[in-house]
Amino acid sequence: MCGIFGYIGHRNASKLLVKGLLRLEYRGYDSSGVVVKNGTLESFKDIGKISEMASSLPSLQGSIGIAHTRWATHGAVTRENAHPHLSNDGKVAIVHNGIIQNSEMLRKRLKKLGVSLNSETDSEIFCHFISMDLQEGKTPMEALRNVLSMVRGTWGLCVLFLEYDFVLCARNGSPLIVGRGKNEMFISSDPHAIREHTDQLVALEDGQIAKVDSRDVQVMQIDGRAVESSYLNLEEEWGESELGDYPHFMLKEIHEQAQSLQHCISGRLRHAEGTSVLGGLQIEPHNLAQLPHIRLIGCGTALHAAQIGQILIEQWARIPAVSHVASEFNANDPVINPDALHLAISQSGETADTLSAVKEIQRKGADVYGVVNVVGSTIARQCGKGVYIHSGPEQSVASTKAFTNMVGALALFSLQLGRSRHLSKTKGKSIAREMRKLPEKIRSYLENPGPIDEAVELVMQSKSVLFLGRGISSPVASEGALKLMEIAYIPCLAYPAGEMKHGPIALIEQDSPVVVIAPNDGVQDRTMNAIHECKARGAKIILIHEEGDPIAEIGDVSIPIPATIPMLTPLLSVLPTQLIAYQTALSLGHDVDRPRNLAKSVTVE
């Protein structure tokens, strides 16, 4: 979604700002803009690609500026609504991420005061109120505090002033970090944009404001109380984010899965004891014995990983577990048991729906552990404990390697829990042995992915695609459907295979494509029933099955994956669904990495 980048230093700001925006491009946006201080506040913005905006950017001198990528919420995709927004006297410029809930009322107040508004956005009010206060003699900090006392909602806000050599920042519900270079400072909503300049950063917390000049950042609470802020070290793995020889980030990230899963599990498996150790998820044995249940919360792909985690926990640790759609979690005033364990799962660590569920659980007295990819992200910090999944940067909007590592981390956790309870050492050792083999199996599958092109032929012109799976393959079906829908824009429906006859079967016509995930996992015979029911009505079956399994004969297109133990099959069966989605989107000529309307990190509820 919206992104912010700022620079205060000695180099040409506009070039660095554009570079920073390009690093934020993967998050999804519809317009972009920059403003640089150079005698006046010179601003340039446009709709469409950053590269187009940048190619018509006049040469702007100046070594201090702020920039933005917008993902429309209030007001259409127009140049006027793009950020930055400037006060009418040209002395204050702002960029804002988030939503101001009482903006209509504040816009009316400004109009009554005779201020002409230049956009339909909720964000523009900031620059006008700040500018009015400056005219009345308030300091920039006083003016910022004053406008923040008027607004309700969420903000990651940067303010640039014509008459001062610093940028003021504020954060409430929308991330903002400040990175320190040598006599230069960087501001961003995403560590990814800062990583190439520095690995030293300060992450603002909700309710904080900051003054950033070319040498340092001063952080304080909104009421002016000073805050002790220390620089975090951005992990090394956050660096490898270039496309290399791949045409798209999605394909690159699909192929990185063997290595990223290796990162996630290496050093955490204890083969001799048949267990694993996740430092951030160590729970005292006596607390474990009393654990009433575990709840796993996430959105989209993270939700599908949570659904798999739920099954793994119940199977291996025999603890009741349930997964929840984060965006629904708070809707019905959930009952929270403070003795229960809660896991918040998120790649970005910034998803507003998940964050809001975390806060609700904490408000009601329970702990939440994060299972997060982005180091130092809001959810990771809000939880204060948990594990990083170590996927490295994921830039394609369609999540692939983060799914694999979420499932990998949840499998490690389930094994650790199981071994602290009833799981035998022998069983634990065989699970650990199989987990260790997975990266190699992923690699070998991706080297020889089977008849993906034939599957693409079947789905690319179809009205809709049905995905079926049973047991632990049911969330894989959902993940496959989400992926194809997101990037190929084909309506997809995912159902537990046994549920198909209770409704979705009505959709099946001659040649309807049905993707069936059917590893040899003990529930396969019942999946077969659904396949026969589909075939009897003319459906074309794309079957994902284990190598050497005679079930292959039943598929119209059969895609073999390496065999593993049933509970780990999602880590292999998801791979063909990712490739089908990728190839289909490509064949249909879509922008694979930046599908329409979607954002990489969804920071609004």
Active site residues: 2, 600
Alpha carbon separation from 518 to 10, 448, 546, 558 (Å, rounded): 59, 19, 8, 11
Instruction: Give the nearest distance from C-beta 307 to ligand AGP in angstroms.
Output: 13
Q: In this complex, which beta carbon is closest to ligand AGP, that of residue 17 or of residue 485?
A: 485
The CA distance from 266 to 253, in Å, is 19
Instruction: Give the nearest distance from C-beta 102 to ligand AGP in angstroms.
Output: 27
Residue 33, classed as helix, strand or coil, is strand
Q: In this complex, which beta carbon is closest to ligand AGP, that of residue 8 or of residue 602?
A: 602
Q: In this complex, which beta carbon is closest to ligand AGP, that of residue 94 or of residue 485?
A: 485
Q: Mask: binding to ligand AGP, 152-191, rule CB under 6 A, as x and -? A: ----------------------------------------
Rounded to the nearest 10°, the torsion over CA 78, 80, 82, 87 is: -170
Stretch that binds ligand AGP, among 173-181, 234-242, 297-305, 435-443 (CB under 6 A): 297-305
Q: Is the dihedral of CA 5, 6, 10, 15 positive or negative?
A: positive
Token readout for 205 is 């917390």
Stretch that binds ligand AGP, among 197-205, 267-275, 346-354, 578-586 (CB under 6 A): 346-354
Q: In this complex, which beta carbon is closest to ligand AGP, that of residue 92 or of residue 261?
A: 261
Contacts with ligand AGP by CB under 6 A: the residue count is 15
Q: Mask: binding to ligand AGP, 369-398, rule CB under 6 A, as x and -? A: ----------------------------xx
The CA distance from 412 to 282, in Å, is 12
CB 539, CB 531: distance < 8 Å = no
Token readout for 239 is 């660096």
If 0-12 CB within 10 Å is exposed, 13-18 middle and 19+ buried, where does residue 77 land?
middle
Residue nearest to ligand AGP (CB): 300
CB 433, CB 271: distance < 8 Å = yes
Q: In this complex, which beta carbon is closest to ligand AGP, that of residue 64 or of residue 398?
A: 398
Stretch that binds ligand AGP, among 62-70, 100-108, 165-173, 298-306 (CB under 6 A): 298-306
The answer to the question of residue 558 lying near ligand AGP (CB under 6 A) is no
Cα angle value 438/441/446 (rounded, 5°): 125
Q: What string of DSSP letters covers 558-605?
A: EEEE----GGGTHHHHHHHHHHHHHHHHHHTT--SSS-TT--SS----
Instruction: Give the nearest distance from C-beta 348 to ligand AGP in angstroms.
Output: 3
The answer to the question of residue 351 lying near ligand AGP (CB under 6 A) is yes
Residue 377, classed as helix, strand or coil, is coil
Which one among 131, 346, 404, 578 touches ligand AGP, defined by CB under 6 A?
346
The answer to the question of residue 299 lying near ligand AGP (CB under 6 A) is yes
Query: Which amino acid, 207?
Result: G
The answer to the question of residue 354 lying near ligand AGP (CB under 6 A) is yes
Q: In this complex, which beta carbon is closest to ligand AGP, that of residue 31 or of residue 354?
A: 354
Q: In this complex, which beta carbon is closest to ligand AGP, that of residue 275 or of residue 348?
A: 348
Neighbouring CB atoms inside 10 A of 437's CB total 12
The answer to the question of residue 300 lying near ligand AGP (CB under 6 A) is yes
Q: In this complex, which beta carbon is closest to ligand AGP, that of residue 133 or of residue 190?
A: 190
Among 176, 192, 119, 247, smallest CA distance to 395 is for: 192
The answer to the question of residue 257 lying near ligand AGP (CB under 6 A) is no
Q: In this complex, which beta carbon is closest to ligand AGP, that of residue 158 or of residue 398?
A: 398
Provide the residue count of the chain: 605
Sorted by sequence, the CB contacts under 8 Å of residue 212 that are 6+ apart come out as 6, 8, 166, 167, 168, 169, 178, 185, 187, 218
Q: Mask: binding to ligand AGP, 486-525, rule CB under 6 A, as x and -? A: x---------------------------------------
Instruction: Specify the DSSP class assigned to residue 314.
Output: I
The CA distance from 95 to 88, in Å, is 15
Stretch that binds ligand AGP, among 151-159, 228-236, 243-251, 300-308 (CB under 6 A): 300-308
Instruction: Give the nearest distance from C-beta 363 to ligand AGP in angstroms.
Output: 20
Among 87, 48, 84, smallest CA distance to 68 is for: 84
The answer to the question of residue 584 lying near ligand AGP (CB under 6 A) is no
The answer to the question of residue 399 lying near ligand AGP (CB under 6 A) is yes
Which one among 87, 301, 404, 512 touches ligand AGP, defined by CB under 6 A?
301
Instruction: Give the nearest distance from C-beta 301 to ligand AGP in angstroms.
Output: 3
Q: Give the pairing of strands 208-212 and 200-203.
A: unpaired
Interface ranges with ligand AGP (CB under 6 A): 299-302, 346-348, 351, 354, 397-399, 486, 601-602
